[in-house]
Each structure stands twice: as C-alpha cells, then as structure tokens.
Amino acid sequence: MDELKKKIQNFDQKTLLKCLKARGWEQTELFRLSRQVKEKVFGQRIWYRGIIEFSNLCRNNCFYCGLRIGNKKVYRYKMSLPEIAAAMDFIRRANYGSVVFQSGEIRGQRWEKYLLAIVRLTKKKYPGLAITVSCGEQDRGFYKRLRQAGADRYLLRIETSSQKLYEKLHPKLMSWSRRYQCLKWLKELGYQVGTGVMVGLPGQTPADLIGDLRFFKDSQFHMFGLGPYVIHKDTPLAAVNARKQWREDKAKIYHLTLNFLALLRIIRPTANIAAATALDVFNPSGRIMALQVAANVIMPSVTPRKYREHYVLYQNKPCLDEEAKQCLGCLTAKIKSAGLESGLGEAGTSPLYLKMARK
Ligand code: SAH
Ligand code: SF4
C-alpha cells in the first residue's frame, strides 16, 4: 500500500489513470488507502455545515445549471432577513458549528448591502459560528468588505481546471481566468478557501481530471467541495443525445467521483473535503460512502422547505420535501450507523489552513 501511496503522491500518470478507472479489488485497495490517510488526520470525525440556499437569483448562464438566467421556468426567490434569522435560530438550536450561505451570482450595491447585512447579523448574534459564503464571482472590494463583516470561508468551484473545457461549458462572457483571479483574491484576503470541480462532465477526459488533481495540489486550497455532474433537462447541456448518454454513464460517473475523491484525499491529507449532495442522486448512500472513503465534511440543507424545490441546480436533487430537522436527523443516523462520529457542534477549521496560518 505504501508503494501505491508513493506513486499517487508523485503523480505517476499510469497509476492515476488506473485508479480513476478502478473497480473490484483495485478500487477496494484504493479506498482502503484513502481511508487510512483520512483517519490519520481526522479519525472517524465528520464535521457539519448547515447550508442555507438563500436566493436562486443568478445573472449567469452556465450551460449545465438549472438556475441559469436563461431558464425561465424557475420561480425566483430571495429570502428576507427575518426568514434568514429564523433559519439561523434553527442552526443554533440544532448545535451546528458552521453555516454556509449560498446563492446564484448577483452583483451590485444593493446585493452587497443585503449580503453584508446577513453576515453581520450572523456574526453579532452567533459570534462563535464559522461563516462560509458561496455567491460566485465578485470584485476584490466586495470580498474584502465581506471578510471584514465576519465571513471566514468562501466556496468557489473552479468547475474544471481545463480552460478549454471551461469555455465549452460557459457563455463567452464568463472566463476561467477571472474565476481563478477571484480564488487568488480570496486567498490573499485570508479566507479559508474551498474550490472544486464537477466529475463526469460531457467532454471531460481522464487527462482533464488528472489536471484537476494537479491544480488542487499546486494551488494549496484549504477545502474541496466537488461532486458528480448531474443532468438538468432545462439546460443546453441536456440535448436529447446527452440525456441518453448520461443515463448510460451513471454508474461510471458515480464510481469515477468516488475514485477521484479517494485520490484527492491521498494527495491532500489535511484538507477538508465535503461529500457532495449530488452523490445521493446515484445512490441513496452516496454521500455516506464518500464519507467512509475520503470526505470529512457534510453539508445538510437548512433551506426552508418552501424554497427547496426552487433551488434545483440539477435534476433529482434529494431531500426537497424535507424540513431542516429531518435532514439533520436522517444524516446523523446514517453517519453513526456507518461507524463514523458526529462532530456537529464543531467549527471544523481545515487543519491545512491552521498549518499555513502558523507559517
Ligand atoms: N452561484 C455560485 C454558487 C451556487 S452554484 C457559483 O456558481 O459558484 C454551486 C455549484 O453547483 C457550482 O459551482 C457547480 O459546480 C454546481 N452545479 C451546478 N449545476 C450542476 C449540475 N448540473 N450538476 C452538478 N453540479 C452542479
Ligand atoms: Fe448561476 Fe452558479 Fe448556476 Fe452558474 S452554477 S448558473 S453561477 S447558480
């Protein structure tokens, strides 16, 4: 097993390719190794972040996402501050140590004022709670003011490390370099920065995925939130042929994502890695499997039930008809029965971030 670990950490191409495709005993070996690496740092502990999807308004038109501005079938909402305060009360009562505020991408002064108010309100009422924001690309000044208002962490997936593939998945107005620039700003401003990609995108090659792993290794992000690509019928990426292809590739994408997560854990032992909700589309225990193999973070939804059906990035999103309390109870029961430990009340700062801050 030490031999395999060395080869993966040295980026031996042949080994990485073999691991991405691994099934059967080869996959079992890969999972055993990544679990061992994870347990050395985190034991059985799983950290929680309650995620509030506070608005589905979005200015962008990403070709894969159900919330794209071009999708006129979506009922658009923006939670009021009292609604957010009520969701926060639940977060506190349920003993979450960390909250994530996520939305589509909106820019401008009114939006900034609204977001700053959300963060300030949270910081003032719950000073110990770690605050993560995930609201897309903004300018440096906005990120700075948000940090000063009390945001500790920011999630912004690069989506793919390949600029060529990125261009195929986004309209011309969006650019890979601008997204990367945002990640650099966030790091400079002292955020704990999380990024990630989608696995199984149409046109994505194994070489692209190895490129993603290298990107993650070289750029030293503190957290990773990545998951499988899931089709959404009201998007340009879901042409009839693509839908058929996707159905046929489902099992492949599921295993590819788990193998990718395992490789990432071996390459970045001390980073926080979240188990993406999208995994549950492929297998009801998908997220738990990811936690057993490589991930150490889970993000149960705290979005009020009435808004959940409108925050649909991809088809068949799980838990749309559940209340926040049910989501937490159901996940914790699954976590415990999988032999893992709940770290619900903890902020769960990335050990990688702490290590880098000490330098
Ligand atoms: N608007 C912000 C945050 C919300 S979208 C942003 O784009 O950063 C959060 C993530 O959902 C995106 O980064 C993307 O990786 C993921 N996503 C969107 N559509 C998806 C799909 N069809 N399948 C899987 N993940 C998807
Ligand atoms: Fe908007 Fe984010 Fe969806 Fe792109 S991925 S359309 S930015 S919500």
Angle between helices 286-293 and 240-267 (to 10 degrees): 30
> How confident is residue 252, by pLDDT bands cut at 50, 70 and 90?
very high
Q: How far is CA 35 from the centre of its chain?
A: 20
Annotated binding-site residue? 62: yes
**Interatomic CA distance for residues 248 and 112, integer angstroms:** 43
- Alpha-helical (H) ranges within 170-285 are 176-188, 206-219, 240-267
**Interatomic CA distance for residues 171 and 28, integer angstroms:** 40
Find out whether the beta carbon of 62 lies less than 6 Å from any atom of ligand 2.
yes
**What's the pLDDT tens digit per position in 286-313?**
999 999 999 999 999 999 999 999 999 9
pLDDT at 266 over 70: yes
- 198 backbone dihedrals φ, ψ, rounded to 5°: -100, 140
The mean per-residue pLDDT over the stretch 33-42 comes to 97
**Interatomic CA distance for residues 276 and 298, integer angstroms:** 8
pLDDT at 280 over 70: yes
**Interatomic CA distance for residues 107 and 289, integer angstroms:** 37
**What's the pLDDT tens digit per position in 109-137?**
999 999 999 999 999 999 999 999 999 99
Ligand 1 centre to CA of 2 (Å) is 36
What share of the chain in percent tops pLDDT 70?
A: 100
Ligand 1 centre to CA of 325 (Å) is 24
> How confident is residue 244, by pLDDT bands cut at 50, 70 and 90?
confident
Quote the pLDDT of residue 317.
81
Annotated binding-site residue? 330: no
Annotated binding-site residue? 319: no
Quote the pLDDT of residue 95.
94
> How confident is residue 325, by pLDDT bands cut at 50, 70 and 90?
confident
Ligand 2 centre to CA of 37 (Å) is 33
Nearest to 204 by CA among 165, 164, 237: 165
CATH of the domain at 333: 3.20.20.70
Nearest to 124 by CA among 156, 154, 187, 81: 81
Report the domain count for the chain: 1
Quote the pLDDT of residue 219.
86
Quote the pLDDT of residue 274.
98
pLDDT at 276 over 70: yes
Of how many residues is the chain composed? Answer: 359
The structure's pTM equals 0.97
pLDDT at 76 over 80: yes
**What's the pLDDT tens digit per position in 156-196?**
999 999 999 999 999 999 999 999 999 999 999 999 999 99
Contact of 19 with 210, CB cutoff 8 Å: no
Pocket test for ligand 2, best of 54, 135, 313 (most atoms within 8 A of CB): 313
pLDDT at 326 over 80: no
Token duo for residue 226: 């990545």
Q: How far is CA 100 from the centre of its chain?
A: 11
Find out whether the beta carbon of 132 lies less than 6 Å from any atom of ligand 1.
no
Pocket test for ligand 2, best of 57, 58, 74 (most atoms within 8 A of CB): 58
**Interatomic CA distance for residues 36 and 19, integer angstroms:** 16
pLDDT at 323 over 80: no
Token duo for residue 312: 């649909």
pLDDT at 316 over 90: no
User: Which of these ranges, 45-49, 103-107, 237-241, 319-323, has the smallest mean pLDDT?
Assistant: 319-323
pLDDT at 240 over 80: no
Residue type for position 224: F
The chain-wide mean pLDDT, for the chain, equals 95
Token duo for residue 207: 């070489």
Quote the pLDDT of residue 118.
98
Angle between helices 24-42 and 13-21 (to 10 degrees): 100
Nearest CA to ligand 2 atom 4: 62
Pocket test for ligand 1, best of 198, 223, 310 (most atoms within 8 A of CB): 198
Q: Is 140 exposed, middle or buried (0-12, 13-18, 19+ CB in 10 A)?
A: middle
Token duo for residue 336: 């415990």
Identify the H or E element spanning 134: strand 130-134
**Interatomic CA distance for residues 75 and 312, integer angstroms:** 11
**What's the pLDDT tens digit per position in 185-221?**
999 999 999 999 999 999 999 999 999 999 999 888 9
208-239: string of b/e by CB count within 10 Å (b at 16+)?
Answer: bbbbbbebbeeeebbbbbbbbbbbbeebebbe
SS3 category, 323? coil
Residue range of the domain that includes 325: 2-358
pLDDT at 359 over 70: no
